[in-house]
Structure formats: C-alpha cells, structure tokens
C-alpha cells in the first residue's frame, strides 16, 4: 500500500478525526485482525455475528498500530494514536479501497462466476505475468472484506490486477464492482451455487451480470459462450464469447484429455491459433485457458507469452490437486468446495483416470435450496453410471447421493460424519486406487486428505 495521510483516510471514508495533530504518521497498511498488526498500520475493526473487533482496539494499538478507524470509540483515547470515527467500518473499508484504487491507472480484470472463479483468476494472472507485474486476489479472498483488502495491496510496481469477486446474494457483485472499477469483466459460467438465496439460475445470472454496472467505458466483457444463459447476454460493451460453439470468437478445438496429466487444446481467435498445454486435469480447464487467451490478447500480449502463461499455470489449494502415494495410490484432492457442476466435472476426471479402482468420497453440497435432494441424488446416479467402483457418501444431505448411486446399480457406503468414515476410507484406498475427495467447504474434507496422506505417503 502506498502511504496515505490520516487526513486523506478521514476524507476518503467521510470520517471524523477525533484527535488531530500535525505529526500523525503516514499509514502503509490496513489490518482487520488485532493479532496480525504491523507497526504503523491502520487497525479497522469489524463487527461480526459473534465477535466485535472494536473490543480489541486497545490491543491493536498496543501491538503497534498507528491508529484506528472505528464506529465505536474506546473509553480512553491515547494521545500518541489517531482515531477516525465512522458510521460503519465495513462501508468505510469499501470507501477507503475505492479511493485508493482510483490512484492506479492500470488494467483491472474482475472475475466472477458460479464455478471456477479462482482457477480462472489464476490462469489469467499466469498469462499476464509473462509480461506484466500483476496483483491478484490471494487464494479466494473474494468477499466484501477480502476484495477491498486486496485492492489496498496495489503498489506502484503493479502493471495490472486480476480481482476475483464472489457472492451469495444479489447486490454483492455490484458492491464489489464499485470498488474494483474493472476494464475487463469476466463471467466464467452460471450454475446452481447459491441458488438457495437467488431462487433460480436466471436469478444467479442477473446477480452475476451486476459486474457490468461498473465496467469502464470502452471496457471488454469476456463470457463463456457455451453456457446457455451467458450466451444470451447482451451488454453495451465489446463482448467476446469463449467456448466450442459457433457463436464463440475465441474458439476451443482439438481437445485431448491426458487424464491426471492435464489437457491439451487449440484456442483460435481472429489474431492467432494457440496450441495450449494445461497441467491440471479435466476438460473443463479449457474454459479458463480460453478466457485467459481473450484477456491476454486484449492487453497486447504476444502469442508466445500467452502460450507460455497457460503452461505456467498450476492449480491452487484443494482444487483437483493430484496426490500420489505409495502403492500407486492416488488422491484427487478437490475438496475446496462443491456444487452440482463442479462435482460432475470432478467425477468425469475420476472416471477417465488410468487406475485399477476408482472411489468417490462425496459430501454435502450447500446452498442449493429446493434443489438439494434432487441434486444430491443425481450426483450419486451419475457416479454409478460413470462406472465408479465405490461411492462413499458422507453427511446428512449426502444420504441422497448414496441413494442415487445405489438405485443406479453402484456400490455405496454412507457415513454421518467424516470421523465415522475415516478408518473405512483408509481401508478402501488400496494399492492402485484413485480416490476423489470432494464436498462443500463447510464439510472440511481437507482433514480426510491429510489423514490419508499421512497414512500412505512414500517412505524413504
């Protein structure tokens, strides 16, 4: 973060500097966690459902914060610290990040979508990084808190930014777009994630299309042209559709699935043909790659830079991470999150994996509303139809996965919790077995992967 004066911060957030003085220090960092204070930072406490960080203002100041921005002043004010009072600290964070973002005249890519936002963000950033110094959203910090904090990390050396924005209700993408002010707006797809809050895929489409409310004049919209809902979107901006369909200006052809080794394809545009090699498994990976080609061309990258950038991409976190263990055992760690579209893609990867035996460990999918039972049942049925040797369903909602698999002729185990399943899963990960582990983030299936890794890691 470039230095900001206390006066600049107070003006940006429409706050009152409670104890102004001439020698107040500049601020070069904003922190929302009193346990991670850096000397000279601005502490910005947020009020949550269970914890109000205003209670930790004094602790943050004791830890070295230069001052705080708060909706509730502490009882005693220190003369060596500054205090800026605002009506709402969450809105103040938005205002501060928006003001700070306006300092930077660089191309900014905003990405949203139901599935694959983080993967698309990482792919686009990998391509742009072959020429430019890029700020990107860390991990998946794409919320109304994570996004402004990311933008406050902009620095003079950055030549582009790739910002992932998530949502679970209407209005959030517009809220974030007002801060991001994108030059390029990307929607990866429209699926069932968060349908519980938005009612239908059409409702999700409308919420995702809020991204265009703050797209800069002359900006570019990049959309998945194979998504039936996105293919209908008409906006008053230049628009590029990416996909395999005849409607797509960025056209995917010649897809070769190399199993867990990844995908190759050719992406053709009016400018060039791009033979691409993607290290992550799953045919769905061609869509982030095609989107990255479109963004790379828009920002003037060469054919060679774009091809190299796609080759440089590596998956992050538990997103189809291939874990090889002793005895030719393999875990497909895709347990970061789950919805019907992403589970379908993961099962298709498992089905195509070259191994002796295939096991799918599947858990509850959240926020599906009225679709919950049918969606879980359909996933179980699909696993059986794909020839998965065993489905281990975990969780109350996943009972329908077990039912769908069993009624479609599959072999099934069901467990109420991951703890109850752990020993059986260790027994099922026999030599030569590939095991997919996937569920919504709240299920915390990373614990399953960790336990299996510890049990079967290679020994020297």
Model confidence pLDDT, tens digit, residues 61-117: 999 999 999 999 999 999 999 999 999 999 999 999 999 999 999 999 999 998 889
Instruction: Give ranges for CATH 3.90.190.20 in the chain.
Output: 321-456
290/277 Cα distance (integer angstroms) = 12
Task: State the pTM of this model.
Answer: 0.88
Position 288 scores a pLDDT of: 97
Q: Thinking of the domain 6-90, which architecture would CATH place it in? A: 3-Layer(aba) Sandwich (3.40)
What are the tens digits of pLDDT across the range 176-211?
A: 999 999 999 999 999 776 676 777 888 889 999 999
Position 294 scores a pLDDT of: 98
Directed axis angle between helix 303-312 and helix 117-128, to 10°?
130
- CATH fold label, 321-456: 3.90.190
180/176 Cα distance (integer angstroms) = 6
With a pLDDT cut of 70, the percent of the chain lying above it is: 99
Position 114 scores a pLDDT of: 87
Residue 460 has pLDDT above 80, yes or no: no
- Helix (H), strand (E), coil (C) string for 354-384: CCCEEEEEEECCCCCHHHHHHHHHHHHHHHH
Residue 121, token pair as written in the block: 């963000």
Residue 54, token pair as written in the block: 């205003």
What does the mean pLDDT of the chain come to?
Answer: 95
Instruction: Give ranges for CATH 3.40.1190.10 in the chain.
Output: 104-312
Phi–psi pair at 424, nearest 5 degrees: -65, -40
Structure-derived torsion over alpha carbons of residues 433, 438, 340, 392, reported in degrees to the nearest 10: 60
Q: Are 254 and 265 in contact (CB under 8 A)?
A: yes
Q: Which CATH code of 3.40.1190.10, 3.30.565.10, 3.40.640.10, 3.40.50.1970 fits the domain covering 104-312?
A: 3.40.1190.10
The 10 Å Cβ neighbour count of residue 256 is 11
Helix (H) or strand (E) holding 413: strand 412-415
Q: CA of 181: how far to CAs of 29, 73, 178, 215, in Å?
A: 21, 32, 6, 6
Q: CA of 138: how far to CAs of 124, 259, 260, 313, 329, in Å?
A: 14, 28, 25, 15, 31
Instruction: Give ranges for CATH 3.40.1390.10 in the chain.
Output: 6-90
5/221 Cα distance (integer angstroms) = 36
Query: What integer is the mean pLDDT of 405-424?
Result: 98
Helix, strand, coil percentages for the chain (3-state, nearest 5):
40, 20, 40
């Amino acid at each position: 973060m470039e230095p900001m004066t206390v006066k600049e911060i107070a003006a940006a957030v429409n706050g009152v500097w409670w104890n102004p003085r001439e020698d107040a220090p500049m601020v070069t960092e904003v922190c929302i966690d009193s346990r991670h204070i850096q000397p000279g930072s601005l502490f910005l406490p947020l009020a949550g459902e269970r914890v109000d960080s205003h209670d930790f203002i004094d602790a943050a100041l004791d830890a070295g914060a230069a001052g705080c921005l708060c909706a509730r002043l502490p009882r005693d004010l220190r003369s060596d610290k500054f205090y800026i009072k605002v009506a709402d600290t969450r809105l103040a964070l938005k205002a501060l990040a928006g003001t700070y973002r306006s300092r930077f005249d660089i191309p900014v890519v905003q990405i949203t979508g139901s599935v694959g936002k983080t993967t698309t963000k990482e792919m686009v950033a990998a391509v742009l990084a072959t020429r430019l110094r890029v700020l990107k959203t860390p991990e998946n910090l794409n919320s109304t808190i994570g996004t402004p904090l990311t933008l406050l990390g902009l620095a003079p050396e950055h030549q582009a930014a790739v910002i992932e924005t998530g949502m679970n209700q209407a209005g959030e993408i517009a809220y974030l777009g007002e801060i991001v002010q994108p030059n390029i707006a990307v929607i990866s797809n429209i699926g069932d994630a968060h349908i519980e809050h938005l009612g239908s895929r059409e409702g999700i489409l409308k919420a995702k299309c809020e991204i265009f409310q703050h797209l800069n004049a002359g900006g570019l919209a990049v959309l998945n042209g194979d998504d039936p809902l996105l293919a209908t979107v008409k906006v008053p901006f230049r628009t590029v559709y990416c996909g395999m369909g005849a409607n797509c200006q960025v056209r995917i052809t010649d897809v070769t699935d190399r199993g867990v080794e990844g995908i190759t394809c050719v992406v053709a545009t009016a400018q060039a043909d791009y033979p691409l090699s993607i290290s992550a498994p799953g045919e769905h990976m061609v869509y982030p790659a095609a989107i990255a080609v479109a963004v790379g061309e828009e920002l003037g990258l060469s054919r060679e830079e774009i091809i190299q950038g796609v080759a440089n991409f590596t998956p992050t976190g538990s997103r189809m991470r291939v874990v090889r263990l002793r005895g030719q055992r393999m875990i497909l760690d895709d347990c970061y999150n789950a919805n019907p579209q992403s589970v379908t893609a993961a099962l298709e990867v498992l089905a195509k994996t070259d191994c002796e035996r295939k096991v799918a460990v599947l858990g509850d999918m959240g926020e599906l509303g009225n679709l919950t039972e049918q969606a879980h049942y359909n996933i179980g049925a699909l696993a059986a139809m794909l020839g998965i040797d065993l489905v281990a369903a975990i969780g109350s909602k996943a009972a329908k996965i077990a039912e769908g698999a069993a009624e479609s002729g599959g072999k099934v185990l069901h467990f109420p919790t991951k703890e109850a399943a752990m020993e059986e899963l260790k027994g099922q990960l026999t030599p030569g077995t590939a095991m997919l582990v996937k569920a919504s983030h709240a299920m915390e299936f990373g614990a399953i992967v960790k336990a299996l890794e510890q049990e079967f890691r290679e020994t020297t």
